[in-house]
Amino acid sequence: MNVSSEDLLDKILDAPVGQVVTVLGEVLNCKIKLKVIEQNTIATNYFVRKVAITSDGLPLIKAEVKFDSTVLPEFIMADLLKKKRGVGTILNVNGIKATRKVISLNRNTHKGRATREYQIIHNGIVWFTIFEEIKLDNLDSNNNS
């Protein structure tokens, strides 16, 4: 199915918290992988996690996730420290309802990318701040194959 870059971007941006990988797989009709590249402590109780979402080796989305372990439940932190699953998956498998508050969105379609920064909030508390770079050119490559 061929979908315009703008339509693809809108579908990604509209995906519910924890559903971006699923939405990409459905829209692009291909296998999507999420990989935690690295996760580091940058200050006491404060972590940064780098994630790549890919298809056939092409990076579709690169993300940086920041979180403070003092605001997260222990079982969430334990799962995060395993570095196996994405934040959204962890929230979904634990039945945690969260909302997304977009801080910034920049559509540079002429440069083949878009960026957004947002917070994932649970019960009025910011659990995660995420900065994403969405590679529109690579989405188009998968979309046209």
Write the DSSP string, 101-138: EEEEEEEEGGGTEEEEEEEEEETTEEEEEEEEEEEHHH
| Sequence spans of domains, the chain | 5-143
Report d(CA 24, CA 30) in Å as an integer: 8
Tens of pLDDT, residues 65-101: 999 999 999 999 999 999 999 999 999 999 999 999 9
Better-scored residue on pLDDT, 141 or 70: 70
Tens of pLDDT, residues 49-67: 999 999 988 899 999 999 9
Q: Which class is 5-143 in CATH?
A: alpha beta
- Write down the pLDDT at residue 54: 93
Helix ranges restricted to H, 29-128: 74-82, 87-93
- Write down the pLDDT at residue 66: 97
Closest CA to 87 of 23, 16, 8: 16
Q: How confident is the model at residue 145 (pLDDT cuts 50, 70, 90)?
A: low
